[in-house]
Amino acid sequence: MPHFISSFSLLLILFSSVSVSSRPTNSWNYTAKVPLEGTPFRLSTPLIGEDGKIYACSEKTLFAFESNGYIAWSLDLDFKCNVGMPPVHGGRGTMYLVAEQRVLKVNFLKMGTSESATQVFFGPGPGQQKPGEIIGVAVSTLSSLVFINVKNRGLFAFAMHGQLLWSVGPVLDQFGYRQGCRRTVTDCYFTSVPVIDQCEASIYISNSQGELYSLSIRSPHFNWVKDFSSFDKVYTVTPGNNGRLYVIIPFKAFVVALDASSGNVLWQGSTGPLSAAEYAPVVDSNGWISVGSLDGFLYSFSPTGTLKKFSNSATFDSVIQVSPLLACSGNAIYISQTEMSGKIIHTNGGFMYVSAMKPRTAVFSLLVPATRSIYWSESYPGQFSSLLSQSDLQHFVLDESLLLAFVTAAMTGNPLLCRSTRQKLASSCSQARPKPPALYTGKEILLFLFFESLVLLVLVVLVPFCCKFWRKKKLQGQHLGNFLEKRRWLQLKKKALDRRIAELEQKKGAEEAVGNLIEKFNSIPCAVTSIERSFSPAISQGYIHIGLEALNQDKFLIDYENAYVCYSRNYLKVEYLLAFIGARTTESNTKKISRFWLHDDQNITTSYIPEVFVQLVVFLDNIKRNYKVEFWVALNSAMGRLIKN
């Protein structure tokens, strides 16, 4: 049900002016500036430092208070600080604060030395124009980065030594798609203080149109942008540092939990009416988010959205106006409930109204939301508040937020063990990490490996089959039969061409080898050998036997019918030999070319039977064969013409 926040003044608790008693020794050995009596100062929103001190600014002075209310040291500034913005912790010995639209950097380690402890980190120099209204400052001590949001200019990221690393506006064109300010870019700018999620290394910031941005710390990259304008354009953002991001919509008393990595809504919950638009909840190390309401209840939600409401005997007469603060243990929180006189709650038109006359007293409590355990509770005035009334705080105007800060810093009534900031962050971040897989040994490992091998084998068999099936399925309706038939014809044609190419290459090689052998044969002189002459009754011509010593020659002569025949025994590729019969005497010139077969039917070369290949009518000089198996004969043209047999 929607709620409405009634307007009434915050409870201001004023201390009367009394003389200052003895004060502890000031830290840093630096002179503490105490306000004059009768002129109470108004302090800014306080910051509880890691050293247990409370830091607050007033006019042009930065104060550091001990948890007992005494001033540890004070530092004069050149500019008037913004009381609406608390100082920001910047790491060991440093702090950042906003003063007159400038960001000042305070280095405690330089206090009491010749160097200035303050410097203008961001802002105009002397005589320069102011850059614009500074909306908020955030510091990531883990990344050593400072983020500053300037109205109508954008978000700026600086290194701690002052170098500008990057800047980004509410509109970013990424991958051809505009992110941010989707309705209109006119009068669209970042409106909130940047908030850092240390576990996710992200920054969260909202714009004037109700859109929430998640950016990477290291670069101006938008992780996601979510539109909350359907709820309201005014809301606060609190990182859980546990994988969740909480959005508080004050005017509707609504809590929305988001997944920090994707921006998806995990759960939603309602609370009672809240005191201010800038109300901020607190998230403990257990992941519980706690919200105080004007109806007097403390609403605590678990990381999964389970609600627990805390109250006391005077809840119906109480209001919770200030945000709870986290105790040093990280699991417990301090809250402040103010008992009011004349408190009335009524609804009208779906809205809840809370009104009250005046405050009576305040009750401070320490509790653990996860277990609903209350460890300490004390009313004001009480023992602790009496001690504060005797300290330097008597010179300042205090409200519940300042008193709650001192109660928290003093660890009043806290029996739990304190932890450092890094320990608390590690505890909350561990909730966002997935649980590590269990370790197995022995048979479980063997079974796992067997199962994994089986799955891989199935995949090896199924994947090719599925790919082929998918391809065939895709070709259905596209004349698959004609396609397959043509593919088979092309494959057969390719095989035939391959065979033909192989045959041609083999033939070419053989012809080249024959030509080489012939050239080698022609270049070798014939060797004279002895020839045994024989006659056969079945053959009119005689046949000859070559002596064994002739076979050992590369080239030799055959004496046949008083003529010389030149023959090479290494010329095995040719089945016969053509030779001219050279005249040994002038009266026995034969004028013919004889052919000698080198192989018989049994492919055994033992005898050579000559036969007439060409009968000439002229004298011949020589005969040669080329690689094309052609015979060239040199003739004497004056002696007659060629007669073919």
Question: Which CATH number is 372's domain given?
Answer: 2.40.128.630
pLDDT(9) > 80: no
Query: What is the predicted pLDDT for the residue at 378?
Result: 86
Whether residue 479 lies inside any domain: the answer is: no
CA torsion 558-564-567-569 (nearest 10°) is 30
Residue pLDDT, tens place only, 548-603: 333 344 444 444 444 444 444 443 333 444 444 443 333 335 677 776 665 555 44
Do 306 and 455 fall into the same domain? no
pLDDT of residue 163: 94
The rounded percent of the chain whose pLDDT value lies above 90 is 31
Any domain includes 263: yes
Q: What percent of the chain has pLDDT over 70?
A: 71
Q: How many domains does the chain have?
A: 3
The phi, psi pair for 466, rounded to 5°, reads -65, -35
Judged against a pLDDT cut of 50, whether residue 12 lies above it is answered with no
pLDDT of residue 198: 87
The whole-number pLDDT of residue 443 equals 60
Q: Which pLDDT belongs to residue 317?
A: 83
> Alpha-carbon distance 571 to 92, whole Å?
100
- Examine residue 106 and state whether it is found in any structural domain, yes or no: no
Scored b (16 or more CB within 10 A) or e, 586-610 reads eeeebbbbbebebeeeeeeeeebeb
Query: Which residue, of 411, 435, 459, is where some domain finishes?
Result: 435
Confidence of residue 635 (pLDDT cuts 50, 70, 90): confident
Q: How confident is the model at residue 19 (pLDDT cuts 50, 70, 90)?
A: very low
Q: Are residues 441 and 363 in the same domain?
A: no
Evaluate whether residue 76 is within a structural domain: no
Out of 114-128, 340-354, 534-548, pick the least confident.
Answer: 534-548
Residue 169 has pLDDT above 60, yes or no: yes
> Is 459 found in the same domain as 337?
no
The verdict on 374 and 429 lying in the same domain is: yes
Q: Answer yes or no: do 273 and 375 share one domain.
A: yes
Ramachandran region, residue 517 (left: φ > 0; alpha: ψ -120 to 50; beta: rest): alpha
523-544: per-residue pLDDT in tens? 555 443 333 333 333 333 333 3
Q: Would strands 396-399 and 41-42 be described as parallel, antiparallel, or unpaired?
A: parallel
| Direct distance between the N- and C-terminal alpha carbons of the chain, in angstroms, rounded to an integer | 127
Is residue 415 domain-shared with residue 354, that is, in the same domain? yes
Q: In whole angstroms, what is the distance from residue 546 CA to residue 534 CA?
A: 11
Q: Which of 385, 409, 435 is the last residue of a domain?
A: 435
Inter-CA distances, 571 with 566, 606, 623, 624, Å: 12, 15, 16, 14
Provide the residue range defining the domain that includes 442. 436-469
**Contact call for residues 269 and 305 (beta carbons, < 8 A):** yes
Q: Are residues 443 and 389 in the same domain?
A: no
For residue 621, being part of any structural domain is answered with yes
Least confident of 84-98, 203-217, 450-464: 450-464
Q: What is the pLDDT of residue 32?
A: 57
Give me 565's structure tokens: 């025949």
- Identify whether 35 is part of a domain: no
Do 425 and 452 lie in one domain? The reply is no
pLDDT of 13 over the 50 cut? no
Q: Compute the average pLDDT of residues 374-400.
A: 82
Does 428 share its domain with 449?
no
Domain finish residue from 384, 414, 435: 435
Q: In this structure, is residue 92 part of a structural domain?
A: no
d(CA 611, CA 578): 10
Determine contact, residues 132/151, Cβ cutoff 8 Å.
yes
Whether the Cβ atoms of residue 637 and residue 605 lie closer than 8 Å to each other: no
Higher pLDDT, 472 or 103: 103
CA 479 to chain centre: 46
Residue 403 makes CB contacts below 8 A (sequence gap 6+) with 13, 336, 362, 364, 380, 385, 388
pLDDT classification of 23: cutoffs 50, 70, 90: very low
For the segment 438-445, the average pLDDT, to the nearest whole number, is 55
pLDDT for 546 equals 37
Q: What's the rounded Cα separation, in Å, for the pair 487 and 508?
A: 31
Gap between the Cα atoms of 482 and 463, Å rounded: 26
- CA 38 to CA 23: how far, in whole Å? 20
Predicted local confidence at residue 637, as pLDDT: 62
Please provide the size of the chain in residues.
645
The whole-angstrom separation of Cα 156 and Cα 584 is 116
- Per residue in 25-45, pLDDT (tens digit) is 333 444 556 555 556 788 999
Three-state secondary structure call for residue 483 = helix
The model's confidence at residue 367, banded by pLDDT at 50, 70 and 90, is very high
Least confident of 4-8, 440-444, 482-486, 603-607: 4-8
Q: At what angle do helices 443-475 and 480-523 cross, to 10 degrees?
A: 100
Give tens-digit pLDDT for 195-223.
999 888 899 999 999 999 999 998 888 88
pLDDT reported for residue 605: 46
Q: Distance (Å, rounded) from C-alpha 369 to C-alpha 591?
A: 131
Say whether both 290 and 360 belong to one domain. yes
Q: Give the mean pLDDT of the chain.
A: 76
For the range 60-66, what are the long-range contacts, defined as Cβ-Cβ under 8 Å and sequence gap of 24 or more? Answer: 60/99, 61/33, 62/87, 62/95, 62/97, 62/106, 63/33, 64/27, 65/392, 65/393, 65/406, 66/24
- Contact at 8 Å (CB) between 159 and 144? yes
Bridge partner list, 282? 290
Residues 352 and 452 in one domain: no
Q: What's the mean pLDDT in 607-613?
A: 64
- Segment 362-368 shows an average pLDDT of 91
Q: pLDDT grade, residue 153 (50/70/90)? A: very high
Q: Which of 88-97, 148-157, 433-442, 549-558 has the lowest mean pLDDT?
A: 549-558
Q: Based on the domain organization, do 351 and 454 belong to the same domain?
A: no
Q: Which residue has the tokens 């605590």?
A: 300
User: Is position 292 within any domain?
Assistant: yes
Q: Please report the pLDDT score of residue 570 as a whole number.
A: 40
